[in-house]
Amino acid sequence: MSKVFSALSVSVDGYITGRDAGPGRGLGDGGTLFDWYSDGDTQSRVFGFFNLSEPSARVFDSLAGRVGAVVAGRNTYEDSERFGGGSPHPGAPLFLVSHRPAPELTERQTLAGNVEDAIGAAREAAGGKDVGLMGGGVLASALQAGLVDEIVLHQVPVLLGGGRSFFRELPAQVRLSLVEAVPAPGVTHLHYAVA
């Protein structure tokens, strides 16, 4: 069965965007969270326009190669300019979790009213590959539903001091087990299994 995981860049103080993130403003003042995508000389095999350090390319391509479908929340979707009508992953359909209608959806995008339905549909569409989660709200809902297998934090050595938190409040503790820690220029890749 396919696994469900989240792999996002995060500041040391736990933010996935900077202040003033939103439509037309992207990550607000948090763009530094993605400097590691272009600070190396190793081209990504999955996203050819990324030039990462060798250790980051190894980690990034391993994760990106697993993705068969993506589930994202409405804030991530809107902040990312609706992914240009596609998906954040070149070969994977997008499942959008939202209670509000989204008339701008394309054939590569599907609306779901809750995270359970979105992950179920994404697993079917993934063709045996894994499901990637995008956004703090989606991750919190999926953790609460017991649907997350792995969490990867691409931790960037910056304190943003504000923005949108990666982890939202949860009703209970979630135990993690460190699978791998890979230091790289400008980022440390922390891969956890959900216990």
SS3 sequence, 26-82? ECCCCHHHHHHHCCCCEECCCCCCCEECHHHHHHHHHHHCCEEEEEEEHHHHHHCHH
Q: What angle is formed at CA 16 by the lines to CA 14 and CA 22, rounded to 5 degrees?
A: 140
Q: What is the pLDDT of residue 5?
A: 98
Residue 97 banded pLDDT, cuts 50, 70, 90 = very high
More confident residue, 82 or 46: 46
Both tokens of residue 9?
A: 């860049």
Q: What is the pLDDT of residue 87?
A: 84
Q: What is the pLDDT of residue 171?
A: 81
User: Is pLDDT of 118 > 90?
Assistant: yes
User: Is pLDDT of 112 > 80?
Assistant: yes
Both tokens of residue 97?
A: 């979790």
Contacts of 132 (CB under 8 A, 6+ apart): 5, 6, 7, 63, 66, 67, 69, 70, 71, 89, 92
pLDDT digits (tens, 9 = 90+) for 55-90: 999 999 999 999 999 999 888 888 777 787 888 888
Both tokens of residue 116?
A: 């359970």
Dihedral sign for Cα 31, 36, 42, 46, please: negative
pLDDT digits (tens, 9 = 90+) for 125-178: 999 999 999 988 899 999 999 999 999 999 999 999 999 888 878 888 999 999
Q: What is the residue-averaged pLDDT of the chain?
A: 92
* Mean pLDDT along residues 187-191: 98
Both tokens of residue 6?
A: 């989240």
The phi, psi pair for 147, rounded to 5°, reads: -105, 5
